[in-house]
Amino acid sequence: MPHDTQTTTGPRSLTLPQPLWTESGEVLPEVRVGYETWGRLAPDRSNAVLILHALTGDSHVAGPAGPGFPSPGWWDGLIGPGRALDTDRWFVVAPNALGGCRGTTGPASPGPDGRVWGSRFPRLTIRDQVAAEVATADALGIGRWAAVVGGSMGGMRAVEWAVTHPARVGALFLVATTAAASAEQIAWCATQLHAIRADPGWAGGDYHELPAESGPWRGLGLARRIAHVTYRSEAELAARFGRDRQPGEGPDGRYAVESYLDHHAAKLTARFDAGSYVSLTEAMNSHDVGRGRGGVAAALARVTAPTVVAAVDSDRLYPPSQQRVLADGIPGAGPLRVVESSYGHDGFLIELAQVAPLLAELLARTRNTALDRTVTGR
């Protein structure tokens, strides 16, 4: 029997009814999925929209900070009455990714023997994460999403959804993402993984059994510093910080940009698990929608959903050329949309005044198509 999805907004969780076999051939005997919802599910379950988060995101897409969520929603301006994802019309579901640490089973979760999974946690791929999301949709009684929406790592999962399960995706919104991780993206990720694993506190991935202060927090902080440089543009960093020193630290103190990176490292280490960072980063490196499907072009040709693909013009991590592959390869996707921003990759999170109309346009097309089917009976 489907879980109760008639109630409105709130975080919740469910346990998948079946074990999950991963592409590596290992099994997760029990998978718990944390998720959050907004709005109300229609009686015919036709108005459900799936939102998929990026690497260190979570299910808290909208709303203020609160218990379990130290920060406000990461796409807060998009969800709510009268917004692009109008909760008077749409039922929005945002799950935490498999392998994460915000309510869904990951390396810090108890294994079948009661001990933390740690180094024993199976190596995951983007397809494994989507398999968990498919099982979650089944548990919620949602056979078809009106739309699947994702940016960055969430976009990887969104395009995998549309290729693997085209009949279950009514519309597709992709922003600042790619059809396959590039050599440069893998290189950036590998550098971050080395930083974490080189920390003596990593303990081979079994640091959960050590005192909390002994964990690989220095390595995780370094990984975040490396990553954050790729999330912003050179022009933005130059304009914000230049060569200035951090105020109050004197002429030999930290550079202001160095202090900025330290701040973001401290924020992440306070809320995120190093093992999850490793698991999710490895999953991102695995991403290739064309793997085993005759290549990217053949895979994208499977997509049947109306699609909008958007790029951030200053994104140096997922450059617009990669979104052009998606826009050109997905049938009926139309021209690539460009978000103008000085912020780099993070522009997809910041430039809501540009992202919201693109998403609203897609959802309007989806709603009109649904109305046409109702009127014509097709």
pLDDT tens, residue by residue, 226-235: 999 999 999 9
Q: Would you give the DSSP letter of residue 378?
A: -
What is the extent of the structural domain holding 230?
Answer: 185-283
Average pLDDT over residues 326-336: 96
- Tell me, yes or no, whether 105 and 192 share the same domain: no
Average pLDDT over residues 144-148: 98
pLDDT above 80: residue 371: no
How remote is the C-alpha of 227 from its chain's centroid? 15
Domain contains 159: yes
Pair 76, 6: CB distance under 8 Å: no
- Tell me, yes or no, whether 80 and 164 share the same domain: yes
Domain boundary residue, one of 263, 283, 303: 283
pLDDT above 60: residue 377: no
- Tell me, yes or no, whether 256 and 296 share the same domain: no
Q: In the prediction, which pLDDT does 367 show?
A: 64
Q: In the prediction, which pLDDT does 374 show?
A: 33
Domain boundary residue, one of 283, 313, 336: 283
pLDDT band at 68 (very low <50, low <70, confident <90, very high): confident
Buried b (16+ CB within 10 A) or exposed e, 331-353: eebeebbebebbbbbbbbbebbe
- Tell me, yes or no, whether 120 and 38 share the same domain: yes
Domain contains 2: no
pTM above 0.85, yes or no: yes
Q: In the prediction, which pLDDT does 9 show?
A: 66
pLDDT band at 375 (very low <50, low <70, confident <90, very high): very low
pLDDT above 50: residue 373: no
- Tell me, yes or no, whether 195 and 293 share the same domain: no
3-state secondary structure of 109: coil
The residues annotated with a catalytic role in the active site are 152, 315, 345
Pair 370, 46: CB distance under 8 Å: yes
pLDDT above 70: residue 8: no
Domain contains 84: yes
User: Residue 34: which of 182, 133, 131 has the closest Cα?
Assistant: 133
- Tell me, yes or no, whether 308 and 251 share the same domain: no
Domain boundary residue, one of 253, 283, 313: 283
- Tell me, yes or no, whether 274 and 294 share the same domain: no
pLDDT above 60: residue 18: yes
How remote is the C-alpha of 119 from its chain's centroid? 23
- Tell me, yes or no, whether 147 and 207 share the same domain: no
CATH label of the domain that carries residue 257: 1.10.1740.110
Which carries the bigger pLDDT value, residue 205 or residue 70? 205
Strand partners, 36: 11, 94
Domain contains 252: yes
Average pLDDT over residues 275-289: 98
Pair 265, 276: CB distance under 8 Å: no
Q: In the prediction, which pLDDT does 3 show?
A: 54
- Tell me, yes or no, whether 55 and 156 share the same domain: yes
Amino acid present at 298: A
β-bridge pairing 91-95 and 20-21: unpaired
pLDDT above 90: residue 183: yes
* Chain segment 101-127, per-residue pLDDT in tens: 999 999 999 999 999 999 999 999 999
Average pLDDT, the chain: 94
Separation of alpha carbons 169 and 146, rounded Å: 6
* Length of the chain as a residue count: 378
Average pLDDT over residues 177-190: 98
Domains of the chain: total: 2
